[in-house]
Amino acid sequence: MTPIITAFERSPDRGRGLARDMRVRWALEEVDQPYDVRLVSFREMKKPAHRKLHPFGQIPTYEEGDLALFESGAIVLHIAERHSGLLPEDANARARAIAWMFAALNTVEPPIVELSMAKILEREKSWYEERLPMLEDRVHVRLGELSDRLDDAEWLDGAFSAADLMMVTVLRRLDGSGLLEKYPTLCAYVARGKARPAYQRAFADQLAVFTAAKSPD
């Protein structure tokens, strides 16, 4: 059964692949699983039909037969568990890869999202300039730690896995901030992820949505 995912009809990132459907698309491409995409508007996302799939009225969602999932981490884990290629066979290595997925989502992504939300929503606040360095420092702490751990390894723990897929998409949220550039190890890591054919197919597909929306025939 071909899974169906949801994505923004018009992504605010203008096709830069920063919305969270990108990580689901990339996972599906890595395991060679064809999928369909249902595009939703911001208005549709908040309607009861979509909220049945996603209680918080967001994308991405994932439907496969009578299974409906939300949360990009849970979706990628589901894909990785059902197909080979995204999680190691060895039980301990598999557990470590899953721990890294959680680290990407629970330890590295929050300060990055906090910073980007502040830049979008708080720019006009009187305390913005005072708060910004603190938010940037929090991101730097995590980037420094991650960079030290990665060191000269290609991937987080042995072969490429869903952990790297998740971490690379999280780090990509820093695009344009200038912060990642202070960590050559992490820049090279993100570049390795982006060079994967599966990433490029996923990226091209989400970009095509933006391009089609820009110039409707």
Judged by beta carbon, residue 72 or residue 161, the one nearer ligand GTB is 72
Q: How far apart are CA 60 and CA 62, in angstroms?
A: 7
**Nearest distance, CB of residue 73 and ligand GTB, angstroms:** 6
Judged by beta carbon, residue 42 or residue 102, the one nearer ligand GTB is 42
What is the identity of the amino acid at 61? T
**Nearest distance, CB of residue 94 and ligand GTB, angstroms:** 21
> Of the candidates 145, 191, 128, which has an alpha carbon nearest to the alpha carbon of residue 164?
191
* 71, 112, 128, 180 from 119: Cα distances, Å: 24, 11, 8, 16
Judged by beta carbon, residue 93 or residue 179, the one nearer ligand GTB is 179
**Nearest distance, CB of residue 50 and ligand GTB, angstroms:** 10
Judged by beta carbon, residue 57 or residue 158, the one nearer ligand GTB is 57
**Nearest distance, CB of residue 193 and ligand GTB, angstroms:** 17
Judged by beta carbon, residue 56 or residue 127, the one nearer ligand GTB is 56
Q: At what angle do helices 184-194 and 197-214 cross, to 10 degrees?
A: 80
Which residue number has the CB closest to ligand GTB? 58
**Nearest distance, CB of residue 117 and ligand GTB, angstroms:** 10
Given the rule CB under 6 A, which residues bind ligand GTB? Answer: 12-13, 18-20, 42, 45, 57-60, 71-73
User: Which uninterrupted H or E stretch holds 157?
Assistant: none
The percent helix, strand, coil of the chain (3-state, each to 5) is 60, 10, 35
